[in-house]
């Protein structure tokens, strides 16, 4: 499958999805690696031939940032924070190791320890953006060169000749793993789109509610107490269009009507095909007054549209979301819609209170 270039917004979604998918694996890998690095204290004691007091603090110090890392993982979800934090943890393990090596009487085994570090960077690259993983992993070589200034490795050339190919090989692996996940991501997105999109009009269907309502509640997600207004639009006498001109022309009327709605609203407004010829528009951060103006603008554009087989009009019901029950607020917009129908169609009606409406069709 050929991957197309993602724009910035889609990249954020893609890399967040990638991180979420591998989060449990990478988090557990870091926890296990941090604890395992503490056990290197046993080999320190073997090298000293006694209890290695000198390396006790360097070997156990990694447990402090590990605690903060675990807290961070539970508090935050943004990969743009958690991926760098994961790499910092691995570099932290390496620098604690370098700190311990400083006290060792024999430093010749450091190269084996640094090779093991590459395995950790390989584990983290699963969840990270490719470019960042290459940059973060390549800093291993920098760590070795800097630490050589005070650790004076006897086999620095061996460390570099083994380490650089590891960085290159893992970078290639990271690149191809990202492509594999991109294929999976694109396939899953197509399946999700098939579930939540109406095939005729290419707007959302009612399955979109599973993504915009808080699970197990009738409340909108991330409403943040901002004003949200609902519009329900219904094409007037649509059955006559189908009966007179056929269903193909009726479909064209639906598509043209939806195009006018989409052209008239903001990019972050949500349009859902609510019924056969009925559409719901969710306008977050939009006051009741502005929603009424927008509804009337849409009504006028549809009435003036001459690209259809026949002239059509719409009736529109408007209601303010109460912040509590999505379905009650939609029902209020629906009541306003039927009020508009009763008052002659081709107009906008606002739900004000139980059995109180305001008509607008200027």
pLDDT at 223: 64
- Name the burial class of residue 207, with classes exposed (0-12), middle (13-18) and buried (19+) by CB atoms within 10 angstroms of its CB: middle
pLDDT at 360: 73
What are the tokens at 131? 């470019």
Do residues 24 and 165 both lie within one domain?
Answer: yes
What are the tokens at 86? 């994961």
Do residues 283 and 333 both lie within one domain?
Answer: yes
With beta carbons less than 8 A apart as the criterion, state whether 345 and 328 touch: no
Round to whole Å and give the CA distance between 281 and 232. 6
Task: Find the domain containing 41 and state its range.
Answer: 8-194
Contacts of 213 (CB under 8 A, 6+ apart): 219, 220, 221, 326
Do residues 35 and 145 both lie within one domain?
Answer: yes
Q: If pLDDT is split at 50, 70 and 90, which confidence band does 3 have? A: low
Round to whole Å and give the CA distance between 148 and 152. 5
Do residues 345 and 309 both lie within one domain?
Answer: yes
Output the CA–CA distances (angstroms, integers) from residue 116 to 45, 64, 103, 162, in the order listed: 20, 22, 20, 11
Residue 250 lies in a domain: yes
Residue 13 lies in a domain: yes
Do residues 260 and 121 both lie within one domain?
Answer: no
Residue 2 lies in a domain: no
How much is the average pLDDT of 21-31? 96
pLDDT, mean over the chain = 92
Q: What is the pLDDT of residues 58-104, one digit of tens each?
A: 999 999 999 999 999 999 999 999 999 999 999 999 999 999 999 99
How much is the average pLDDT of 117-122? 93
Residue 94: name the closest of 73, 123, 116, 126 by CA: 116
pLDDT at 357: 80
Do residues 179 and 213 both lie within one domain?
Answer: no
State what percent of residues in the chain have pLDDT above 70.
97
Residue 361 has pLDDT above 70, yes or no: no
Output DSSP code: residue 220: B
Tell me the HSE value of 196 on the side-chain side, using a 13 A CA sphere. Answer: 14
Do residues 190 and 224 both lie within one domain?
Answer: no
Longest dimension (CA), the chain: 97
Look up the CATH number of the domain holding residue 350: 3.30.70.270
pLDDT at 362: 53
Q: What is the pLDDT of residues 275-298, one digit of tens each?
A: 999 999 999 999 889 999 999 999
Q: Which helix (H) or strand (E) holds 328?
A: helix 326-342
Residue found under tokens 């306008």: 283
pLDDT at 1: 47
How much is the average pLDDT of 113-135? 94
What are the tokens at 120? 């950790």
pLDDT at 95: 97
Residue 255: name the closest of 316, 200, 198 by CA: 200
pLDDT at 251: 94
Q: If pLDDT is split at 50, 70 and 90, which confidence band does 227 have? A: confident
Contacts of 129 (CB under 8 A, 6+ apart): 15, 18, 83, 178
Residue 199 lies in a domain: no
What are the tokens at 173? 């692996």
Contacts of 29 (CB under 8 A, 6+ apart): 120, 123, 124
Residue 297: name the closest of 262, 264, 253, 333 by CA: 264
Do residues 277 and 165 both lie within one domain?
Answer: no
Round to whole Å and give the CA distance between 175 and 182. 11
Q: Which of 16-20, 191-195, 233-237, 275-279 has the least mean pLDDT?
A: 191-195
Q: What is the pLDDT of residues 136-176, one digit of tens each?
A: 999 999 999 999 999 999 899 999 999 999 999 999 999 99
Q: If pLDDT is split at 50, 70 and 90, which confidence band does 324 have? A: confident
Round to whole Å and give the CA distance between 350 and 231. 9
Among residues 147, 162, 194, the one where a domain terminates is 194
How many angstroms separate the first and last alpha carbons of the chain?
Answer: 53
Residue 94 lies in a domain: yes
Do residues 177 and 212 both lie within one domain?
Answer: no
Residue 228 lies in a domain: yes
What are the tokens at 325? 């029950």
Query: Number of structural domains, the chain?
Result: 2
Among residues 155, 174, 194, the one where a domain terminates is 194
Residue 75 lies in a domain: yes
Contacts of 84 (CB under 8 A, 6+ apart): 132, 136
pLDDT at 72: 96
Q: Which residues pair with 314 in a beta bridge?
A: 235
Residue 110 has pLDDT above 60, yes or no: yes
Q: If pLDDT is split at 50, 70 and 90, which confidence band does 225 have? A: low
């Amino acid at each position: 499958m050929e991957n197309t270039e993602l724009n910035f917004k889609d990249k954020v979604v893609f890399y967040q999805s990638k991180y979420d998918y591998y989060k449990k694996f990478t988090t557990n890998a870091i926890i296990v690696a941090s604890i395992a690095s503490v056990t290197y204290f046993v080999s320190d004691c073997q090298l000293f031939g006694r209890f290695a007091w000198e390396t006790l603090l360097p070997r156990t110090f990694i447990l402090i940032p590990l605690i903060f890392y675990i807290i961070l993982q539970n508090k935050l979800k943004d990969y743009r924070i958690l991926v760098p934090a994961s790499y910092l943890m691995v570099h932290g393990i390496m620098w604690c190791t370098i700190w311990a090596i400083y006290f060792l009487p024999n430093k010749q085994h450091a190269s084996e320890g640094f090779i093991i570090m590459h395995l950790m960077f390989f584990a983290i690259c699963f969840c990270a953006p490719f470019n960042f993983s290459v940059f973060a992993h390549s800093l291993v070589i920098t760590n070795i060169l800097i630490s050589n200034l005070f650790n004076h490795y006897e086999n620095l050339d061996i460390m570099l000749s083994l380490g650089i190919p590891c960085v290159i090989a893992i970078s290639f692996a990271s690149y191809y793993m990202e492509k594999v996940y991109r294929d999976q991501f694109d396939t899953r997105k197509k399946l999700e789109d098939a579930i939540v999109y109406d095939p005729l009009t290419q707007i959302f269907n009612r399955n979109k509610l599973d993504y915009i309502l808080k699970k197990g509640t009738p409340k909108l997600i991330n409403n943040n107490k901002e004003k949200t207004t609902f519009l329900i639009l219904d094409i007037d006498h649509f059955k006559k269009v189908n009966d007179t001109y056929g269903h193909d022309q009726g479909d064209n009327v639906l598509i043209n009507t939806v195009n006018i709605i989409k052209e008239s609203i903001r990019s972050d407004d949500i349009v859902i095909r609510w019924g056969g010829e009925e559409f719901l528009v969710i306008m977050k951060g939009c006051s009741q007054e502005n929603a009424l103006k927008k509804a009337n603008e849409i009504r006028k554009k549809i009435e003036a549209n001459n690209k259809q087989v026949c002239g059509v009009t719409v009736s529109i019901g408007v209601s303010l979301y109460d912040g509590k029950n999505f379905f009650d607020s939609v029902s209020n917009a629906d009541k306003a819609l039927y009020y508009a129908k009763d008052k002659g169609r081709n107009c906008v009606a606002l739900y004000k209170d139980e059995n109180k409406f305001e008509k607008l069709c200027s």
